[in-house]
Amino acid sequence: MAASALVGLVAAACGSSSASPKSISGKAKQTIVFAESGLGTEGAQTAKAIKGFEKANPNIKVSIDVLSPNSTTYLSQLEHDFISGSSTPDVFESDVTYPAKFAQAGWVKALTSFHPNMGQFFSHEVAAGTYHGTTYAIPWFDNPEGLFYRTDLIKTPPKTPNQLVADAKAAMKADPHLKEGLAFEGAKYEGAITAFLTVDSAFGGKLNPSNINTAGNKAALSFLYDSIYKYHIAPTAVTGWQEGQVEQEFVSGYTPFAIDYPFVESLATSAPVKGHVGYIPFPAAPGGTPGSALGGEMLAINAKSAHAAAAWKLISYLTSPSVEVARAEATGDPPSLPSAYTSALYAKAPYFKAVKTLNSYSAPRPVSPNYLQISSDLQNMISAVYANSISPASAIAKAAPTVRSDASATPSS
């Protein structure tokens, strides 16, 4: 802790000596730094795309800075660069929840001057990159969270949450290999919020920071709580599960239902789940709509970059249809361009049909410069409920004023 604080302090102290943006001729040979978190196939695909970019733009060399795959550490690493006033990375991968905060802090460059064609992207992800009407980040790929189910065990996908519970119980009874009926992210981290959000709109809920104490939100959180303590279809172990553990439960054949991101589909490559994977929005309760949560990654430019034009060229290249499709086929990262969802893509990876359906339902998390504080409040609320320390209704009632206060906090307050 002390070390982190020291790094932050020293970084802040050095901030005043930062480099100021310089305009560099488009013809000059230049190197830009691209910070991203991709490892494995994602990292390899990024490297491949960068090679293609460098070939098309011989005057620009891209240095890839691979940061932590852990989202919290990744954010800290980026923040240290920005706080110190560093002009690198020039371009960086950003979670959908970062742009508003970065824009308010003055760390990212407004992209208006590049005249981006935002109409070509999914509109909900465009909204995540927009702050006070200005575009600060471009959608790179779009990750709608939804409900996976085993098509061999669940013959007809459930139409309501109650039916999901009944199906899960029946499946657990019929198949002794199943260890639970539903797996979801319940650890105290950002994923617990997206799992909750996936269920939330199915009960008519909405994560509006000015008032989260609504009947829909209470019903959604109660459902997840009940799945552990009343229906007994989810184990208490969910309190330690992130998306990786949920994916493991599903692809290992331990659960007929799992709330997770699309990447699970590409990993379900062996028995007993191979060829038996369905992916749908969370079934709606009366008064709700099918549920999905918006996840995804965007691309943005450091406000102090000396190579903004080159950085923009890279963003344009990485978000072009052919590059996005190549990434989707190689890594399973769903394109952020609706136009990329073609029959050719479906022929190679049929599950993208389901992903596109989920895209039309995916609910965004609050777009706020104070989102990290809001997220912390929500994580506290959700983890306390899953640990059975407080009832869902009481937890939401208790968290509502804190969320409202944090969301509306300004420098003068």
Partner 1 sequence: MSGQAIAPAAASEAAPTGGGGGTARRARRSSRRAADRRLGYALVAPAVILLLAITGFPLVYNLWNSFHYVNLSYANVPQHFVGLSNYTRMFTSSSWLASLERTLAFTAVSAVFDTAVALGLALMLHRRFPGRGLLRAAILIPWAVPTVVSAMLWQTMFDPRAGFVDYFLGIVHPSWGSLTWAGASVLRSWVVVFIADAWKNVPFVAIILLAGLQVIPTEVYEAAKIDGATAWQSFRRMTLPLLKPAIMVALVFRTLQAFFVFDVIYIMTGGGPGTSTETLSFLNYQTFITNTDFGYGGAMSIVLIVMALVIAGVYVRVLRPEL
CB atoms within 10 A of CB 260: 28
Asked whether position 104 contacts partner 1 by CB under 8 A, the answer is: yes
Distance CA 336, CA 255 (A): 30
Asked if 53 and 60 count as a contact pair (C-beta separation under 8 A), the reply is yes
The position carrying tokens 């553990």 is 245
Min dist CB 386 to partner 1, Å, is 7
Min dist CB 303 to partner 1, Å, is 9
Binding segment (CB under 8 A) for partner 1, from list 165-173, 181-189, 268-276, 354-362: 181-189
Min dist CB 279 to partner 1, Å, is 24
**Among 51, 142, 144, which Cα is nearest to 340's?**
142
Write the single-letter amino acid at 210: S
Rounded to whole angstroms, what are the CA distances from 4 to 8, 79, 196? 6, 11, 31
Asked whether position 106 contacts partner 1 by CB under 8 A, the answer is: yes
Asked whether position 384 contacts partner 1 by CB under 8 A, the answer is: yes
Residue-level length of the chain: 413
Of 34, 36, 50, 101, which lies in the binding site for partner 1, with binding defined by CB under 8 A?
101
**Among 101, 111, 105, which Cα is nearest to 137's?**
111
Chain centroid to Cα 250, Å, comes to 20
Distance CA 161, CA 286 (A): 10
Distance CA 147, CA 326 (A): 25
Of 240, 321, 350, 401, which lies in the binding site for partner 1, with binding defined by CB under 8 A?
240
For residues 295-324, which are near partner 1 according to CB under 8 A? none
Tokens encoding 245: 């553990």
Of 4, 270, 342, 360, which lies in the binding site for partner 1, with binding defined by CB under 8 A?
4
**Among 73, 45, 69, 55, which Cα is nearest to 140's?**
45
Total residues interacting with partner 1, rule: CB under 8 A: 43
Min dist CB 4 to partner 1, Å, is 6
Pick 266 or 376: Cβ nearer partner 1: 376
Binding segment (CB under 8 A) for partner 1, from list 25-33, 98-106, 315-323, 343-351: 98-106
Of 146, 235, 295, 392, which lies in the binding site for partner 1, with binding defined by CB under 8 A?
235
Q: What DSSP state is assigned to residue 334?
A: P
Asked whether position 79 contacts partner 1 by CB under 8 A, the answer is: yes
Pick 104 or 222: Cβ nearer partner 1: 104
Asked whether position 107 contacts partner 1 by CB under 8 A, the answer is: yes
Chain positions contacting partner 1, by CB under 8 A: 1-2, 4-6, 8-10, 12-13, 76, 79, 83, 101, 104-107, 186-189, 235-237, 239-240, 369-370, 372-373, 376, 379-381, 383-384, 386-390, 411
